[in-house]
Amino acid sequence: MSTTSPTPQAPPAQYFQKGLGLKAIAQDLLERDYHSHIVDYLRAHNFMLRIDDLEIHLAQEFGFCYGVDRAVEYAYQAREKFPDRRIFLTGEIIHNPHVNRRMLEMGIGFLGGQYQDDVAIEDLTPADVVILPAFGVTMIEFKKLSDLGCILVDTTCGSVLNVWKRVEQYARDGFTSVIHGKYYHEETRATSSQTTKYSGGQYLVVRDMEETERVCDFILDKSTPEEFLKIFAKSISPGFAPELHLQKIGVANQTTMLSSESLAIAERVKRAMIEKHGAAAINERFRNFDTICSATQDRQDAVLKLVTTQKLDIMLVIGGYNSSNTNHLAALAGQYTKAYHIDDPRCLTNVEVIRHKLYGSNEEIETHDWFPSGPIKIGLTAGASTPNNKIGEAVSHLARLRGENIEEWL
């Protein structure tokens, strides 16, 4: 098998992957924009605050992870280093509306996604600065930007890069990458594109266990190639032939998926491969590495601990509606108590109405009579792309719903 990349990936002359030398300045700006003294108080008081008969418990791992913090910091550094240049993000820097709107306020534009204006990659010049988000970009996008000679600031998360290495290794060794993720998600699109570094590299994206069962059905001769291709038309590599490309499988993950589901998917595929080819051949046919990032796992573990050790009436999960890790936190909490996924504390409209998103839906809805009178215990957490100031605002909103000023209780 060829080990030559079909598209040269040499970075442009001005390529920043380890910051731009302005960390101290950026940290001061981040502190100004995203710090919360309310969160500081909760940390210092066993992650709990009592306001009369309202009790608020914060999960012990929450909010900005290292990779997100680094990505946002690099964007601030880029704005400081290039004050007179046009600066763009290829898409959302992270999945948080507050942070993305802050990018717009800083004069950083978007080349794609819901915040895009009227500038596309084709409109860029070598004088422009382009920030690659924490999710990374596809091989094709990177090549376009490199060929244009743009100044690139690469904030791709280290956990994402680790998955890329696995997928690249699979492709090099002739294994098809089966990726647990969402085929349309920026990270999964970037990850799957890494298979193109090697001739014949292939990928298949599975969303959940239901889709995994359809893969196993084909492996075990329970469905036809035509049926398989109809189901997975949008989530396979070009030219994918299941009868050829499911002979050797390596499993990987979008880093923000639910860990327990990823592990179960890998185990299900392994069992199907053993049933098809025999246990003696499994090491030649199947590989798996747990590539859920530690920050995602830590936040899931913290939510699980909170909902199983505290008898919560309500769990609030704050984060962008398109944030995969936030959605999974809400789904996990919802197995134990009433959980509401809100993208901003302003969703806590009043004691009668809360605006939120149901897991598996893309629409914001309103629920009435959500905030009961009398003693109430509320859990709180935030996805890895949610800044601390939004957590603090949520606590302040909850206090106001009880007619209290949060500052009088700190």
SS3 374: coil
SS3 138: coil
Q: Residue 128 is encoded by which pair of tokens?
A: 């422009």
Instruction: Find residue 180's DSSP bridge partners.
Output: 206, 253
Residue 4 predicted with pLDDT over 60: no
| pLDDT band (50, 70, 90) for residue 3 | very low
- Just list the catalytic residues: 187
pLDDT of residue 377: 98
How do residues 153-210 score in pLDDT, each as one tens digit?
Answer: 999 999 999 999 999 999 999 999 999 999 999 999 999 999 999 999 999 999 999 9
Q: Residue 299 is encoded by which pair of tokens?
A: 């936040």
How do residues 19-75 score in pLDDT, each as one tens digit?
Answer: 999 999 999 999 999 999 999 999 999 999 999 999 999 999 999 999 999 999 999
| Runs of H (alpha helix) within 278-401 | 282-285, 294-309, 324-334, 388-401
Total residue length of the chain: 410
Query: What amino acid occupies position 409?
Result: W
Distance separating the N- and C-terminal Cα atoms of the chain:
64
* Percent of the residues in the chain that have a pLDDT greater than 90, as a whole number: 93
| pLDDT band (50, 70, 90) for residue 2 | very low
* Percent of the residues in the chain that have a pLDDT greater than 70, as a whole number: 97
Listing DSSP states for 244-259 in one string gives HHTSSEEEEE-TTS-H
Nearest Cα neighbor of 163 from 257, 97, 86, 59 is 257
How do residues 109-136 score in pLDDT, each as one tens digit?
Answer: 999 999 998 999 999 999 999 999 999 9
| pLDDT band (50, 70, 90) for residue 289 | confident
Q: Helix 23-34 vs helix 388-401: angle between axes, to the nearest 10 degrees? A: 10
Contact 198, 3 (CB under 8 A): yes
| pLDDT band (50, 70, 90) for residue 1 | very low
| Domains, the chain, ordered by start | 29-65+294-409 (3.40.1010.20), 67-156 (3.40.50.11270), 159-288 (3.40.1010.20)
Residue 271 predicted with pLDDT over 80: yes
